């Protein structure tokens, strides 16, 4: 994500329901010229034939599949066991993720979504085993996908590098519906063969948000509940109380964690950051930390390496007005 302002502008453009813009101007980032984040250079890149994705091996049998040429900078993860693989999110759907996954593993693939916001489910349609939460919110996104009108801002020159995807039909870009093959549940364990992955329901950012835990390896995938950047806690389906509870639940795991894998920007984070997240949420709840008005009734709470953008109506205390 390029900068705070352009993130907000582009995201609001894409919110369902046609929410108004809160800023008029963005400095358009050139997504073809822009250098890959410096943190990526320290990771082990896995070569692939796809020009749209960047693949990094970030753990034992764990690949981060990044899309650094669109401002969302979303990251999906392929987690492999001996018998099965789990694909945690399928990205923007601008380029198909299925052929890339097939380059990385021959194993049968189970797809789970960190949540069904459009930037995480774009390639779902191509897979036969896509499991999701037993919620209307999930069923609605499975049945309808996301329409072009909701996503047109994702494919403007300011939002992505078209040279990387010359074949993309930007006039009709949408997220296709998909078929749910089974429901998943909080606490469920998925056995991939020599690797057990636990599903942890972490609603708040979205009703169907989940995290994944590989307890033996000390790996936690946080989806959009935590990533190094502005964390969105606004929109019709955001539940701040649920988010606070979810992050408290994740913070109890920190002692057993070696690494956190977030779903945007940079694929690896120090688990200690989850303690900062919960402390900040407590300080916001108690009024010790006050946000500043960022426009469109959203308050900004800048922290070290990340920030919260929270809808004012979810806060007990009004934000401090910007000068
Ligand atoms: Zn999201
Ligand atoms: Zn996201």
Q: What is the pLDDT of residues 30-85, one digit of tens each?
A: 899 888 899 999 999 999 999 999 999 999 999 999 999 999 999 999 999 999 99
Q: What is the pLDDT of residues 260-311, one digit of tens each?
A: 999 999 999 999 999 999 999 999 999 999 999 999 999 999 999 999 999 9
Task: Using the Cα atoms of residue 103, residue 105, residue 108 and residue 110 in order, give the sign of their dihedral.
Answer: negative
Cα-to-centroid distance, 46 and ligand 2 (Å): 23
- Over residues 178-185, the mean pLDDT reads 98
Residue 117: nearest ligand to its CA?
1
Distant-in-sequence contacts of 16-24, Cβ < 8 A, 24+ apart: 16/146, 16/150, 17/236, 19/296, 20/296, 21/296, 22/294, 22/295, 22/296, 22/298, 23/295
Number of domains in the chain: 1
Cα-to-centroid distance, 206 and ligand 2 (Å): 10
Cα-to-centroid distance, 82 and ligand 1 (Å): 30
**Domain contains 308:** no
**Domain contains 60:** yes
> What average pLDDT does the chain have?
91
145, exposed or middle or buried, with CB in 10 Å at 0-12, 13-18, 19+?
A: buried
**Domain contains 94:** yes
**Domain contains 20:** yes
Place of tokens 């890149």: 45
120-138 per-residue burial string, b: 16 or more CB within 10 A, e: under 16: bbbbbbbbebbbbbebebb
- Over residues 139-162, the mean pLDDT reads 96
Percent of the chain residues topping a pLDDT of 70: 90
Neighbours of 246 (CB within 10 A): 25
**Domain contains 293:** no
**Domain contains 290:** no
- Residue 317: both structure tokens together: 């205390």
Q: What is the pLDDT of residues 116-133, one digit of tens each?
A: 999 999 999 999 999 999
Output the CA torsion 165→168→174→179 (10° steps).
-80
pTM value is 0.91
Cα-to-centroid distance, 263 and ligand 1 (Å): 9
Cα-to-centroid distance, 74 and ligand 2 (Å): 6
3-state DSSP: the chain helix, strand, coil percent, rounded to 5?
25, 25, 50
Residue 229: nearest ligand to its CA?
2
pLDDT of residue 175: 98
Q: In this structure, which residues have their CB less than 5 angstroms from ion ligand 2?
A: 119, 224
- Residue 154: both structure tokens together: 């994702």
Cα-to-centroid distance, 176 and ligand 2 (Å): 17
Percent of the chain residues topping a pLDDT of 90: 85
Given a cut of 50, is residue 14 above it in pLDDT? no
**Domain contains 140:** yes
Residue 119: nearest ligand to its CA?
2
Cα-to-centroid distance, 317 and ligand 1 (Å): 25
Question: What's the CATH number where 168 sits?
Answer: 3.60.15.10
Report residue 90: phi and psi, to 5°.
Answer: -130, 15
Residue 205: nearest ligand to its CA?
1
- Residue 209: both structure tokens together: 């948000």
**Domain contains 319:** no
Residue 208: nearest ligand to its CA?
1
Cα-to-centroid distance, 36 and ligand 2 (Å): 18
Predicted confidence band at 89 (pLDDT cuts at 50, 70, 90)? very high
Cα-to-centroid distance, 224 and ligand 2 (Å): 5
- Residue 189: both structure tokens together: 């364990």
Domain that holds residue 108: 4-229+241-271
Cα-to-centroid distance, 225 and ligand 2 (Å): 9
pLDDT of residue 323: 54
Cα-to-centroid distance, 311 and ligand 1 (Å): 15
Residue 116: nearest ligand to its CA?
1
Please enumerate in sequence order all residues whose Cβ is within 8 A of that of 153, keeping only pairs 6 or more positions apart, or say none.
10, 13, 14, 159
State the Cα–Cα distance between residues 194 and 212, nearest whole angstrom: 16
């Amino acid at each position: 994500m390029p900068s705070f302002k352009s993130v907000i502008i582009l995201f609001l453009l894409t919110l369902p329901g046609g929410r108004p813009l809160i800023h008029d101007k963005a400095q358009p980032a050139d997504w073809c010229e822009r250098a890959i984040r410096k943190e990526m250079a320290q990771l082990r890149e896995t070569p692939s034939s796809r020009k749209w994705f960047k693949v990094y091996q970030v753990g034992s049998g764990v690949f981060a599949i990044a899309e650094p040429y669109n401002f969302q900078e979303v990251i999906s993860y392929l987690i492999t066991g001996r018998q099965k693989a789990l694909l945690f999110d399928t990205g923007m759907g601008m380029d198909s993720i299925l052929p890339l996954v097939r380059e990385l593993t021959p194993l049968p693939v189970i797809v789970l979504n960190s949540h069904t916001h459009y930037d995480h489910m774009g390639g779902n349609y191509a897979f036969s085993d896509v499991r999701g939460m037993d919620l209307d919110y999930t069923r609605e996104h499975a049945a309808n996908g996301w329409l072009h009108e909701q996503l047109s801002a994702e494919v403007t020159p300011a939002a992505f590098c078209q040279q990387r995807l010359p074949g993309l039909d930007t006039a009709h870009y949408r997220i296709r519906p998909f078929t749910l093959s089974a429901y998943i549940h909080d606490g469920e364990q998925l056995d991939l063969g020599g690797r057990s992955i636990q599903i942890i329901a972490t609603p708040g950012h979205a009703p169907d948000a989940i995290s994944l835990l590989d307890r033996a390896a000390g790996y936690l995938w946080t989806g959009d509940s935590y990533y190094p950047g502005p964390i969105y806690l606004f929109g019709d389906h955001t539940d701040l109380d649920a988010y606070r509870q979810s992050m408290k639940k994740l913070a109890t795991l920190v002692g057993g964690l070696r690494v956190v894998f977030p779903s945007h920007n940079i694929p690896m984070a120090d688990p200690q950051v989850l303690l900062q997240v919960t402390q900040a949420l407590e300080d916001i709840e108690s009024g010790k930390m006050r946000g500043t008005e960022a426009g469109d009734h959203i308050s900004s709470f800048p922290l070290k390496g990340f920030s919260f953008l929270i809808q004012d109506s979810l806060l007990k205390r009004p934000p401090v007005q910007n000068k």
